[in-house]
Amino acid sequence: MEEFVPEEIAFVVNGTLLRLSRHDVESSVRGLRPEPIQRHAVEIAGARYPVKQAFEAATGLDRLDFTSAVARRNLGRLGFVLLRIGS
């Protein structure tokens, strides 16, 4: 059975309603050089990015304004592969 992946998601971060699509995420990281991965990564178009770097690029939020758990949850809802590096 295939998992349903919504075309667009809506969520609230620090009281702000945001909308994000898979296309938004892919477009936002195009040409972006992945930073070194500390622990949590997301695979987008064959490249691995720290989840906070990708989520920051896609939403325009400062990465200090959200946790990696928020980034992982929402990127995962869009069907991206999430990875845990190291322990």
Quick check: is 1 in a domain? no
Element (H, E) at 16: strand 16-21
- Return all residues near 65 (Cβ < 8 A) that are at least 6 apart: 13, 14
At 2, the pLDDT band (50, 70, 90 cuts) reads low
- Predicted TM-score (pTM) of the model is 0.93
Quick check: is 80 in a domain? yes
43 half-sphere exposure, CB direction, 13 A CA radius: 7
Quick check: is 3 in a domain? no
Quick check: is 27 in a domain? yes
Quick check: is 79 in a domain? yes
pLDDT one-digit tens code per residue, 17-49: 999 999 999 999 999 999 999 999 999 999 999
